[in-house]
A and B are shown apart, each in its own frame.
Chain A
Amino acid sequence: MSEAAQRSQRVPLLGGFSLLVFGFLYLPIVVLILYSFNRDGVGGFPPKHFTLDWYRQLFGDGPIWDSVLNSLLVALGAVVLSLVLGLLAALALDRADFPGKTMFRRLVLLPLILPGIITGLSLLMFAVTLGFARSLTLVFFGHGTALISVATTELFAGLQKMDRTQEEASLDLGATPWQTFWHVTLPNLRLSLVAAGLLIFTLSLDEIAVTFFLIGSDNTLPLEIWARLRRGITPEINAISTLIFAVSVILILIWYRIRTCTIGKEAQELLERPQKG
């Protein structure tokens, strides 16, 4: 926006309000981190005695780390499952016409926009009717299925941005469709695949609603924390939460960098335009 207009609109009120909103968004996180170092526990004000005891306790806590492992396994599995099916679905949406195509697209999006409880319960009913017990495997299926649309959306966008004539050139030069897919299509989708994978990984790690109904005796991390909460609040939970926060921040920053990598060149051009003439 032109600087003259910006200057005339310097609105300190708006800036201040925005700051407050940011404060509101970060308040719980700040409190969480702060009190994870507090000797006297989770409440009260102000926090007085600094300690790393809670972290020490956390690191010696077996069940928590078992649940972390479970979460990671499920997340990795979900990434693979979602990406494979999502890639096929994106290709299908981009290149094939079949009856019920619009229905398919909407159906795939449903788990994302519907409250998780509905998807979770549906899958539970399905599993029980077929005679399957609740288990971690079931959770893996649930995540993988629910997150297909994340992969599809991201990969579809990547396909649309891709230069179609590259594939035509490949075929023209004698490559089979399979070779073309391997050597031309996939490399072009590299960034989309990584971005989608990261997103799915993060969403799976934090997934609670669907997991809640499908989980058996092996907990994922969120459910392990949930179980602890029922027993009472301890700053150990603050400690693990702080670690989760740190990991989330790193993952999201990586995801963001990758995302904006593809836009990089266009953004450069856009930045240079207003300077001319």
Chain B
Amino acid sequence: MLLEVRQVAKRFGARDVLKSISLEIASGEFLTLLGESGSGKTTLLRLIAGFESPTSGEIWMNGARLDTLPPYKRHVNTVFQHYALFPHLTVQDNVAYGLRVTGVPAMEIPARAEAALRMVKMREYAEARPARLSGGQQQRVALARALVNRPQLLLLDEPLSALDANLRKEMQGELKALQRELGITFLFVTHDQEEAMALSDRIALLRDGELEQVASPREIYARPATRYAAQFVGQTNLLEAEVREGIASCGSLNWPTTMQPGPAVFSLRPEAIRLGSQAGPTPYAVRFRARIHQQVFAGSTENLEVDCAGQVLRVRIPARGTLSGEQEFFFEPADAILVRR
């Protein structure tokens, strides 16, 4: 276990930005803090970096107390959201900065800086000044600057948010490859759930200062623990059902379940609902008729909004031309996942 966050809370004035977070980060893993603005994800990152102190709780790294150390004594480095490159230094000097100020022998510095630049493919820009570089280039330099110090933990604060879509995808791939190659633990902050799913070994979903769920991307997607998780990561239909004697009822839909009697909320992904004419319904499949309300063509899929006796459901099916009127649909009961909150 590399990093342990133990019941950390943070208060700014009257606001509780983090309400008691406990989290463990394993060595070599790529963990993403995912959440909306205001969820506390950047604050948590800054606490680990050392720019803020927890109001209560502790942070430990490698069996030693971390939160009492100032940032310049921690073996943690940050890639800032707006890069924070030093405008008065060249690219090379920016990257070498961390080596110089920590007393690395002068003879080693040029080689290590160069190696870091080569890693991010920015070697030819060594003598340039940051102001002359594009956003993507600056971001690579910021990355090299953080990595050259060989930190045990690298913090990345929404590093890709300022880049345009294509460059973003490209950088995502590069970051993932880099992390695997170096084996450094990455703690990544983003509000983009697709990005989180693409990059992470695990996702920590934050909401209003609390952890909703911490699990691998596939786990969160397939088995969201809460309504919020179900809706934030991917799209879903939330079915507020009443369970009686092993049957969950929601509107005109009924399906078997092993849940206790009483009210329960289920998450049903749009792609789990299929057209009656599609192959593969099991004997347990729940069938229903619904009127197509809206159809949006999305290249390889059709995104439908259907009305089933007053209940609106979202459905995603493979593209097949315009549909109209009423159609028959089905879903498997196993795909209706119980959501705890």
Contacts and interface: CB of A to CB of B under 8 A. Distances in A.
B17 A8 contact: no
Contacts of A8: 70
A277 B51 contact: no
B17 A2 contact: no
B52 interface: yes
B17 A3 contact: no
Interface string B146-170: 0000000000001000000000000
A5 B74 CA distance: 13
A277 B38 contact: yes
Contacts of A277: 35, 37-43, 158, 189, 191
A4 B38 CA distance: 21
Given A275-B12, A277-B43, A4 B51 contact: yes
B52 A275 contact: no
Contacts of B39: 277
A3 B51 CA distance: 7
Interface in B51-82: 51-53, 70-71
Contacts of A4: 50-53, 70-71
B15 interface: yes
A1 to B, nearest CB: 9
Interface in A1-54: 2-5, 7-8
Nearest to A5: B51
B6 interface: no
A276 interface: yes
B53 A3 contact: yes
A5 B70 contact: yes
B70 A276 contact: no
Contacts of A5: 51, 70-71
Contacts of A3: 52-53
B123 interface: no
A181 B227 CA distance: 57
Contacts of B38: 275-277
Given A5-B70, A277-B41, 18 more contacts: A2-B46, A2-B51, A3-B53, A4-B50, A4-B51, A4-B52, A4-B53, A4-B71, A5-B71, A8-B70, A275-B12, A275-B17, A275-B38, A276-B38, A277-B35, A277-B42, A277-B43, A277-B191
Interface of A: 2-5, 7-8, 275-277
Interface of B: 12, 15, 17, 35, 37-43, 46, 50-53, 70-71, 158, 189, 191
29 contacts: A2-B46, A2-B51, A2-B52, A3-B52, A3-B53, A4-B50, A4-B51, A4-B52, A4-B53, A4-B70, A4-B71, A5-B51, A5-B71, A7-B53, A8-B70, A275-B12, A275-B15, A275-B17, A275-B38, A276-B37, A276-B38, A276-B42, A277-B35, A277-B37, A277-B39, A277-B40, A277-B41, A277-B158, A277-B191
